[in-house]
Amino acid sequence: MAAPRNDSFLRALLRQPTDHTPIWLMRQAGRYLPEYCATRRRAGSFLQLCKSPAMACEVTLQPLERFPLDAAILFSDILTVPDAMGLGLYFADGEGPKFERPVRSEAAIHALRAPDPHDELRYVVDAVSEIRRALDNSVPLIGFSGSPWTLASYMVEGGASDDYRHLKTLMLDRPDLLHHLLGVTAQAVTDYLNAQIEAGAQAVMIFDSWGGALSAHGYLEFSLAYMQRIIAGLKREHDGERVPVIMFTKGGGQWLEAQAEAGADALGLDWTTDIGLARQRVGHKVALQGNFDPTALFAQPASIAREAERILDSFGPHPGHVFNLGHGISQHTPPEHVSALVEAVHRHSRSIRAAAGV
Amino acid sequence: MAAPRNDSFLRALLRQPTDHTPIWLMRQAGRYLPEYCATRRRAGSFLQLCKSPAMACEVTLQPLERFPLDAAILFSDILTVPDAMGLGLYFADGEGPKFERPVRSEAAIHALRAPDPHDELRYVVDAVSEIRRALDNSVPLIGFSGSPWTLASYMVEGGASDDYRHLKTLMLDRPDLLHHLLGVTAQAVTDYLNAQIEAGAQAVMIFDSWGGALSAHGYLEFSLAYMQRIIAGLKREHDGERVPVIMFTKGGGQWLEAQAEAGADALGLDWTTDIGLARQRVGHKVALQGNFDPTALFAQPASIAREAERILDSFGPHPGHVFNLGHGISQHTPPEHVSALVEAVHRHSRSIRAAAGV
């Protein structure tokens, strides 16, 4: 397989020059698109949609047919891994994801095993292969997983939480048990991402959605250390092409210096961090991905363009920026506002390169 | 009125030496205390409790009878100010605060007026006087208000929000209108805090609970600028005593350098910031208040003590630290765990001063 015809996303992750700033959007295949809702209705449920490689492929491609995005991302869910560990993922109406068997006792934690991605997670690996074929080398495909800390939050709490009470109590009272849980989960994520890479994912991203709920020292010990371990175990080259790794801790803007040492090629930023200052803080160690506030997509197109330009101007005309949101897109976003954002990023990033003579 | 017999809290805010690190807890008069729940039941509702100076005084004193805390904080709610502006505050069962008349139109925003604290907010001013008499100079009394940005989030959204969609759309599409709203609210907060100071509040705190939802530049323009304006308008001395000001932006750890220039005597920190690094970043410009994760109060007393010691050790034996939580205490907290925290802070802060010979 050759490099994609539009390789701006991969080049930007490796801090190589591009003629525009590439853009993709977290959760770009999602409920704000009527065509996604139609496929999901046909699938019967969100989980059945995830578990059907053909339908996962279909929704992965939908946003690319509407918008000139520079990358595709595998349609899946971060909770496929603990589901494959036997915790029993289900979605209660209007309540988000839940596990039938949360993991809290010493016995339950010691019984955890890393699943074989070619067995219990075969449907994801098959989806990656199918999407790669369908993309036909137009744009690169991103694979992904949740971080061990973020997966642990659902595994221990049994679902979403606003204070992570059980998880944090385990962390403080029995750090040995939590370290065991995180170690097994890190192995599972490493195997899972490597299987995605072998199936054709051209970059991978680790979503640490809830790392920002930790104290500074807790983050280093219970979240960052395990992402670093995963990154060290990833295949970084496949089919003769480098496979870049993006690490994103939402709410982690205070810890960028430590993140830049973890071995990732790029760091994700939510919208609370000034991307120009972030670039100064991490130097030339990593590329940066972000960081438009998804709620700003409810404003008028002219306001959206102004906010996008502010981010591009703050980063400057240098290589190493992938434009994205700072969090997943809201289901209530008007699709035409996404068009306005993509257009503004492509247009303005070309014009600042021209003005800088690069 | 003389200085309180235990003035460690006021001294720490002014970065003067104290023989221990003073501690109080955000929402220390709250639902985790059975005696609070009893008074609230007697009052009939949370709002009636806030509006009765006698009962507000009663619950303000309850935590001080249980724990050797170093400060009392006025029992009230941040939404008294927009309620006094005529928005119609009410509490729907299990849904948190709501306003009957949210402010979104140009006409509604231009009709806003800063209320007279001695008229519409008289019940708060009376509560401050009554609490000061009841405290009888034992420990200092803290007055408080919400920040203009945080109050605006409720005023525009009409209640709690997870994405501040209406507020952020107003900010991006009609910044002129939002600036008008914030300007009137900043005047209201200034008048309100000055009335609390005149009635006997010995320190005041501005709670910017939702400033952390902004981008870096949005924070400076729409939240910090208005807190700075308020601080510039406050009476900083009353009855011959200095009245320190604490400013707390939850989720604002990335912007401490800018916060340190806003004129406050102390900055609040949530638990995501390492307090030792924060001290290096702000130098000797301000004292720091924080920063124990309230969820850590669910751990065992020995774990609670260890976490408290870590924070005290990180700050070091220098003057200028007020111990607190990084967010309000959870209603499910066991009161005996609060005892363990207060005891650990007093004990360990004395021992690190002794070890350092200060």
Q: Which residue has the tokens 């303005």?
A: A348
* pLDDT band at A202; cut points 50, 70, 90: very high
Contacts of B110 (CB under 8 A, 6+ apart): B180
A293 near B CB under 8 A: yes
Active site residue B11: no
Q: Which two tokens stand for residue A253?
A: 């803007």
> Given its phi and psi angles, is residue B316 left (phi above 0), alpha (psi -120 to 50 degrees) or beta?
left
Q: Which chain B residues contact residue A274 at CB under 8 A?
A: 215-217
Minimal C-alpha gap between A172 and chain B (Å): 6
> Is A79's pLDDT higher than 60?
yes
* C-alpha closest to that of A288 among A4, A8, A6, A14: A14
How many Cβ pairs within 8 Å bridge chains A and B?
90
* A254–B272 C-beta distance less than 8 A: yes
Cβ–Cβ contact A339 with B under 8 A = no
- Note whether A215 contacts B272, CB cutoff 8 Å: yes
For residue A185, being part of any structural domain is answered with yes
Assigned domain for A2 exists:
no
What percentage of chain A carries pLDDT values higher than 90?
97
Residues whose CB falls within 8 Å of the CB of residue B8, separated by 6 or more in sequence, listed in order: B18, B19, B20, B21, B22, B70
Domain assignment of residue B1, yes or no: no
* Closest-CA distance of chain A to residue B174, Å: 10
What is the rounded distance in angstroms from the CA atom of residue B203 to the CA atom of residue A55?
60
Q: Domain range holding A38?
A: 8-356
> Could you report the per-residue pLDDT of A286-322, keeping only the tens digit for each?
999 999 999 999 999 999 999 999 999 999 999 999 9
Per-residue pLDDT averaged across A27-51, rounded? 97
Q: What is the mean pLDDT of chain A?
A: 97
Distance, in Å, from the CA atom of B255 to the CA atom of A254, rounded to the nearest integer, reads: 9
Q: Inter-chain contact A296–B164, Cβ cutoff 8 Å? A: no
**Distance, CA of B215 to CA of A98 (rounded, Å):** 31
Model confidence pLDDT, tens digit, residues A8-29:
999 999 999 999 999 999 999 9
The answer to whether the Cβ–Cβ distance between B215 and A251 falls below 8 Å is: no
The mean per-residue pLDDT over the stretch A67-77 comes to 98
Query: Which residues make Cβ contacts (< 8 Å) with residue A122, sequence separation at least 6?
Result: none
Distance of alpha carbon A358 from the chain centroid: 30
Looking at residue B1, its pLDDT comes to 57
Q: Which of A180, A35, A18, A188 is nearest to A110 (CA)?
A: A180
Contact across the interface for A303 and B172, Cβ inside 8 Å: yes
Residue B2 lies inside a defined structural domain of this protein: no
pLDDT higher than 60, residue A1 = no
Residues B293 and B298: their CA atoms lie apart, in Å, by 10
What ipTM, to 2 d.p.? Answer: 0.95
First to last CA, chain A: 30
pLDDT in tens, A232-291: 999 999 999 999 999 999 999 999 999 999 999 999 999 999 999 999 999 989 999 999
Measured CA to CA, the distance from residue B205 to residue B249 in angstroms comes to: 11
Q: What is the pLDDT of residue B3?
A: 82
Q: Quick one: average pLDDT of A69-76?
A: 98
The model's confidence at residue A358, banded by pLDDT at 50, 70 and 90, is: confident
Q: What SS3 class is residue B94?
A: coil
Contact B253 A251 (CB under 8 A): no
Q: Which CATH number do you get for residue A208?
A: 3.20.20.210
Is the CB of B325 inside 8 Å of chain A's CB atoms?
A: no
Give the model's pLDDT for residue A102: 97
Residue B219, min C-alpha distance to chain A (Å): 9
Chain A residues within 8 A of B256 when measuring between CB atoms: none
Residues 6+ apart with CB under 8 A from A335: A32, A33, A66
Place of tokens 């039941």: B41
pLDDT digits (tens, 9 = 90+) for B227-281: 999 999 999 999 999 999 999 999 999 999 999 999 999 999 999 999 999 999 9
Measured between alpha carbons, how far is A225 from A183 in angstroms, rounded to an integer?
Answer: 10
- The number of domains in chain A is 1
pTM of the model as a whole: 0.97
In a domain, B96, yes or no: yes
Query: Per the domain annotation, does A214 fall within a domain?
Result: yes
Determine, yes or no, domain membership for A1: no
Regions in chain B scoring below 50 on pLDDT: none
pLDDT of residue B15: 98
